[in-house]
Structure formats: C-alpha cells, structure tokens
C-alpha cells in the first residue's frame, strides 16, 4: 500500500527586530493617546475644572503631532488616527460642556469591537485571520488549515470577551464618578489591553506549536 499523504512541512520565520519595533510603537501610542491624556484630565478635574482639562488634552494632542513633525518627516498613520479621534471627542465634549461625552465614546468603541470580534467568530469568519496579516507574514497554508482556523476563532473570542469586560469595567467606574472613570480608562483599560494581547499571543503560539509539520523560528 502507498504511504499515507502528509501535509508539507511549513516554517514560520519571525523577525525579532520587527516585533520589538512594533511593541515599542504600541507602548508609545498607548501612552501618548490614552494614558497621558486621561491623567491630564484627571489632574485637571481635581484642580482647575473640566474645561481646562479638556483644553489641556487638545494642547497635548497638538504637541504630539508637532514633536513628531519636528523629529520625523511624517506622522505615523496610526498615531494620526488616534490623535484625530482624541481631538474629535475632546472638541465635542467642550462644545457640549460635558465630560461624559469624552468618557462614553471609548466605551461605545469597545462595545462595537466586541460585537465585531464575537460576531465574526460566531459566523465562522474570524476577523483575526485578516488582521494578523498586518503584523506578520503567515504561511498561506495556515489560512486553509482547520486547526489554524480554530485558533483564529478562539483568539477572536478572547479579544471580544476582553472588550466586553472593558465595557463593564468602565461603566462601573463611570457610575462612581468622572475621575474614577478617567482612571479606569487611562490606566486599567490600557493594562487590560496589554494583558489581552499577551494572552492572545500566548494562546495562538501554543496552538501553532502543536500543529504537525509546522515550526516557528526567530531571525
């Protein structure tokens, strides 16, 4: 009898320098567009009031872009998008004289992300399968493997559930007051996001390493 057919061996090469660069950019983006604006507004609410706090966030947003333009020829698109969203919700909060507009918009964003991720997993078309291509070049065979598809679905569910947890956490802190909600948004939400990324990477890594004829190496 002829030997049973086996799937061809596949090797994934991960560029350590690229991963390190992406991690540094992500941390810097989180600090510039989430943590520092929230802490500025938190401090302002305790001292000079919400109007000056929102103004300080707008000034900070302009400062970020100015510093990047001075040190680089262009502003990264991810940073520009984050700053534009920050300026948009801050300006709307100023126009309506309500700090709660500033706080509710990210909660709505997390809820939308939860719906997208959990919904795509539920219909069997996990969005993580497409998003990962923006960060790493995966072998084409992974996108047709049932075990890899299951892994992408599981990661999708993990991320969606973390966004629901983020919504619940921020609504709970918002119920306690604006300052507590700012602390939650700037510090706890960022921490939750970092932990979720780590869990998703660890889970995906463990699933891939169990696949036969598939190896992972660093370059």
Q: What is the pLDDT of residues 102-113, one digit of tens each?
A: 888 889 889 998
Is residue 84 in a domain?
yes
Helices and strands, number each (H, E), in the chain: 9, 2
pLDDT score for 117: 92
Q: What is the pLDDT of residues 159-205, one digit of tens each?
A: 999 999 999 999 999 999 888 888 888 889 989 998 998 998 888 88
pTM of the model: 0.76
Rounded Cα distance, 98 and 90, in Å: 10
Is residue 49 in a domain?
yes
Is residue 77 in a domain?
yes
Which residues does 147 contact at the CB level (< 8 Å), separation at least 6? Answer: 207, 210, 211
Is residue 4 in a domain?
no
Residue 53: which domain range?
Answer: 10-218
Percent residues over pLDDT 90 in the chain: 18
The SS3 of residue 138 is: coil
How many structural domains comprise the chain? 1
19 vs 86 pLDDT, higher one: 86
Give the confidence band of 136 by pLDDT, cuts at 50, 70, 90: low
b/e per residue, 123-134, with b = 16+ CB within 10 A?
Answer: eeebbbbeebee
Is residue 58 in a domain?
yes
Chain centroid to CA 100: how far? 22
Q: Which helix (H) or strand (E) holds 74?
A: none
Is residue 211 in a domain?
yes
Query: Is 132's pLDDT higher than 70?
Result: yes
Rounded Cα distance, 22 and 19, in Å: 5
Query: Is 3's pLDDT higher than 50?
Result: no
Rounded Cα distance, 216 and 219, in Å: 10
Is residue 2 in a domain?
no
pLDDT score for 82: 79
Is residue 212 in a domain?
yes
pLDDT score for 4: 43
pLDDT score for 127: 86
């Amino acid at each position: 009898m002829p030997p049973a057919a086996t799937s061809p061996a596949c090797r994934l090469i991960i560029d350590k320098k690229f991963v390190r660069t992406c991690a540094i950019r992500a941390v810097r983006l989180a600090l510039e567009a989430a943590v520092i604006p929230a802490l500025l507004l938190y401090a302002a609410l305790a001292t000079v009031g919400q109007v000056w706090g929102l103004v300080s966030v707008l000034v900070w947003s302009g400062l970020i872009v100015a510093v990047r333009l001075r040190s680089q020829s262009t502003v990264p698109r991810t940073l520009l998008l984050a700053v534009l969203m920050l300026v948009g919700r801050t300006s709307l909060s100023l126009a309506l004289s309500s700090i709660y507009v500033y706080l509710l918009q990210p909660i709505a964003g997390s809820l939308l992300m939860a719906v997208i991720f959990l919904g795509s997993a539920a219909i069997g078309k996990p969005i993580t399968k497409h998003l990962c291509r923006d960060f790493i070049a995966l072998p084409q065979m992974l996108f047709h493997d049932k075990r890899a598809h299951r892994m992408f679905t599981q990661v999708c569910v993990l991320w969606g559930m973390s966004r629901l947890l983020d919504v619940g956490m921020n609504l709970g802190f918002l119920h306690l007051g604006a300052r507590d909600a700012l602390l939650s948004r700037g510090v706890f939400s960022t921490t939750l996001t970092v932990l979720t990324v780590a869990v998703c990477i660890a889970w995906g890594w463990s699933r891939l390493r169990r696949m036969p004829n598939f190896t992972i190496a660093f370059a």
